[in-house]
Structure 1
Amino acid sequence: MVYNISYRRPSRVSSRASLSGAEKQRSINESIISGSSGMSHGIPDALSFDRIIAGGVCPPCTVREFMNYLKYIELAAENLQFFLWFRDYSKRFANLPESEKVLSPEWNGEAPDAENQHRPARLNPDTAAVFKGTDFASEPKVTEAEKGSNPFFTPPRTPNSEAQRDGESFDSYDATMSLGAKTNHTQRATGAFESAGLKWKPCSHCSFSPVSVQPYREEITRIISIYIADGGARQLNLSSKERTALLHALQNTTHPSAFRDVMSTVEWSLRCQAHPNFIRWTICNGNRPRVIFARGLGIGGIVGGLIAAILITLSSAPRAYRVLSMIGFMIGMSTLIAAWKGMCVVLHGMHHRHLRPWELFASDDEPSGYDMKSDSYDSLASTNSGNSFEDEPWVAKYEKRNLIRKVFDREVWIKEPALRQIQDTIFLQAILGALVFSIIVAGVFCAFPNGNFF
């Protein structure tokens, strides 16, 4: 089964950073609508962005391959890493109890008034438990008379150790973080706020985060140091305006709505730019040396057909024999058309593809951040490392590989049916194009009289 014979693979999409936030959101909505309507810009619904992110596709179109493409080809893996983190973060925040959600109100673009930030005189038990151990805790006022009449009275305990303060102010998410790592992330986050002209004031009990009672405050500090701060391991490509607005929002709340504008930029980059480019790249079933080799074979086939047509025309053989030159034209032109679109017809005949360079030398251990069972990615795994891959072992090994081995590298079967259909369609287009070309060229040679030279 193939798609429409007039099918065209996705066009290469370049970055358009000048678009406004409203235009990007409109493009996102159009992408979602058109992606669910069957075919959008050469991308079938089976390979839509949402389906890939949801894990509804087979190799080589999964989130893992998408991440590898962004890391090794587009050099923009931080967008997908941040997108996956935010999706997971939004789910976790939505599942929090209401007593914790109220500590981080939804961000509407303005900081809450100072007069509305006072703490109520009496707190319900759940909220009181959250505030316990912080400056916001509501301690009962005890008179001197009550102290004297109660021999068992013990004054409120003040945290007196670094370990106690950490245990009371940080949630379980940070239990695995070392003190040095916390300090490093906080220093980086503090620098980000200061460079934006904002203040990052720690609370009296905790030297690491400002409003420590807000849920996931320490996690947000880490995210700022990794994705937002200048020099972060995975710094996002944000404008100065977007970055300052985001830091201003995170200065007041950890609610997911604080990331609203930034997520529009990140999602637009993934949906409208990276995703079409990824599908276009995935259609290619051979590596660059193999595709160049296939183009050479295609040109050789056409040249062979021309030589055969010329020799038969110059001979005394009947004109009907000149049709035999179509064999060379067909083979050469179909191979050349397919190779021009990144496909090798030999590999396509078996529905195979070459392994990517980073797949050839992959170890048995899963890459950091990947979960084999769910095929999901942990965006906060190995956060001290960036997305640079120049020092990865496979780079030097692949460079030492000779050209012949690269042309005939290891192959693997393509599991995704929709991708095979696209390749079948391109192959059929190549055959039809070669047939038309062969008929025209052979017809031209048939029009010449016999040369009778031999």
Structure 2
Amino acid sequence: MVYSLGYQRPAYVSNTTASTRSSLDSSTSILPAGIPDALSFCKIISGATCPPCTLRDFMNYLLYVEFAAENLQFYLWLKNYVKRFNDLPDSEKALAKPVDTEKQDNDLASPNIPRRPTIPKAETNIITISNRIQSSNPFDDDAAADDKDIACSDMASMYSGRGNHQIAAVRTFGSIDVQYEPFTIQPYREEISRIISIYISDGAPRQLNLSSKERAELLRNLANTTHPSAFLPVLKTVEWTLKHQAHPNFIRWTICNGNKPRQMFAHGLGMSGVVVGLAIMAPLVASGLSRAWRVFGALPILFGIATSLAAWKGLCVILYGQHHRHLRPWELFADDNEAASNYEMKRGSWDSFGSKVSYEDEPWVIEYKRRNTFRKVFDVEIWIQEPALRRIQDTIFLQSLLVSIVLTAALVGGFCAIPPGNRF
């Protein structure tokens, strides 16, 4: 079973392309081109996909390939924060009133009006507040999300290190001329201060790529309330980047079943097949044998062109035939899933309150550089479990095969049209 023969894998979205976007409307349900519904962003976040398209694979891609894991780390924290806030008793939730986003949008449309959040006075009904969160909450796109909630961080670590992050938050608020008061009676006030010092303030270890207006608007909201609705202006930017840049790039990268040396090897194998086919037909053209003998050169040419076209899209046909893929460099040195999980927790990629995540000092970096090219070509393989990914690879291989048949027929037909020689 394959997708449409006109299928095209997701186009690579660069930072420059993303920065020129005309809209930040992330609520649209339209998937980027080349991504099936089974591999949608919401399915990956909710844990409804199989390796190598899981949330852990997505995080590793952002960490090791895109070097931009902070967006997903913040997004997962906010997803977890919304759930925890909704689980609070009504008396605690009433202490942090939601931001009136409609009034705030009107203020933003008028540049002469100060951009300050308006806290609704009459909206004290907790059911109304909860409905507002749900109506603007992008985390409920998939029904399975609640059942497969992601533990983004150790809850006990949220309240450690009191003091330093509050000072950083005060300095941040002061830099945009906001009179900050520590609303200690509001739920999760100290946690919000830590988030500001890690993701929002200038020079933060995991600073989000926000405009000055978005950053100022968020800080003004957080100076008044810890309600999740305070994050809505920034959530649009973060979610758009994840859905329309990081996610398509991740799917495009995951389609490749081999590393770069293996892809070059596949290209060479394909070109060798074409050369062998031509080497078979050329002497037959020069000989006095019947033209029918020249067809024997079609098979290696057909195989060579199909192999090379598939490799051009990152697909090694040998690995594809077994539905295998190479282990990623950071996967090669993990003994088992439990060891890999503990290693990821230790390095901090799943800790929403850690420092800047880097991998330059990880042991696998030096070990992988020491591996020779031949060993990289024949690295350890593993079975691809995700059916939708295998279906994409089936489609790409079929496309390559059909194009190869057309090109081979044209090439062999041209050789057969040459009159036979008599030189031997």
Partner Cα separation in structure 2 for residue 421 and residue 191 of structure 1: 52
Partner Cα separation in structure 1 for residue 118 and residue 416 of structure 2: 85
Amino acid at match of 1:342: G
The answer on 1:223 being equivalent to 2:195 is: yes
Partner Cα separation in structure 1 for residue 342 and residue 209 of structure 2: 23
In the alignment, which of 185, 196, 213 is matched to residue 185 of structure 2?
A: 213
Residue 10 (structure 1) aligns with: 10
| 1:105-152: CA deviation from partner (whole Å, max 9, x where unpaired) | 111244468xx8xxxxxxxxxxxxxxxxxxxxxxxxxxxxxxxxxxxx
Residue 303 (structure 1) aligns with: 275
Partner Cα separation in structure 2 for residue 448 and residue 173 of structure 1: 77
SS at match of 2:19: coil
Residue 242 (structure 1) aligns with: 214
SS at match of 1:43: coil
Map 1:387-406; keep pairs closer than 5 Å: 387-406=357-376
Shift in CA distance, 443/250, structure 1 to aligned 2, threshold 3 Å = same
* 1:369/1:378 contact within 8 Å kept: no
**Unaligned runs of at least 5 residues, structure 2:** 105-115, 122-153
Partner Cα separation in structure 2 for residue 173 and residue 359 of structure 1: 27
The answer on 1:92 being equivalent to 2:64 is: no
Shift in CA distance, 402/41, structure 1 to aligned 2, threshold 3 Å = same
Partner Cα separation in structure 2 for residue 43 and residue 221 of structure 1: 37
The answer on 1:107 being equivalent to 2:99 is: yes
Give 1:198 deviation, angstroms.
Answer: 2.7
SS at match of 1:353: strand
SS at match of 1:3: coil
Percent sequence identity over matched residues? 54
* 1:84/1:379 contact within 8 Å kept: no
Amino acid at match of 1:7: Y
The answer on 1:257 being equivalent to 2:229 is: yes
The answer on 1:434 being equivalent to 2:414 is: no
Amino acid at match of 1:404: F
Amino acid at match of 1:29: S
In the alignment, which of 40, 45, 54 is matched to residue 53 of structure 1?
A: 45
Q: If you compute each CA radius of gyration, which structure gives the higher value, 1 or 2? A: 1
Partner Cα separation in structure 2 for residue 391 and residue 19 of structure 1: 35
Partner Cα separation in structure 2 for residue 418 and residue 384 of structure 1: 34
| 1:183-231: CA deviation from partner (whole Å, max 9, x where unpaired) | 2322322332233333434xxxxxxxx1100000011011111111122
Amino acid at match of 1:17: S
Give 1:316 deviation, angstroms.
Answer: 1.6
* 1:82/1:379 contact within 8 Å kept: no
Amino acid at match of 2:186: Q
The answer on 1:271 being equivalent to 2:239 is: no
Report the TM-score, using the length of structure 1 for normalisation. Answer: 0.78
| 1:209-259: CA deviation from partner (whole Å, max 9, x where unpaired) | x11000000110111111111222211111111111111110110011110
Residue 79 (structure 1) aligns with: 71
Partner Cα separation in structure 2 for residue 271 and residue 60 of structure 1: 18
In the alignment, which of 262, 287, 296 is matched to residue 315 of structure 1?
A: 287
Stretches of 4+ aligned residues off by more than 6 angstroms: none
The answer on 1:333 being equivalent to 2:305 is: yes
Amino acid at match of 1:238: L
Partner Cα separation in structure 2 for residue 429 and residue 384 of structure 1: 45
Map 1:310-389; keep pairs closer than 5 Å: 310-362=282-334, 364=336, 365-367=339-341, 378-380=350-352, 383-389=353-359
Partner Cα separation in structure 1 for residue 118 and residue 39 of structure 2: 43
* 1:227/1:233 contact within 8 Å kept: yes
297-306 vs 420-429, which deviates more?
Answer: 297-306
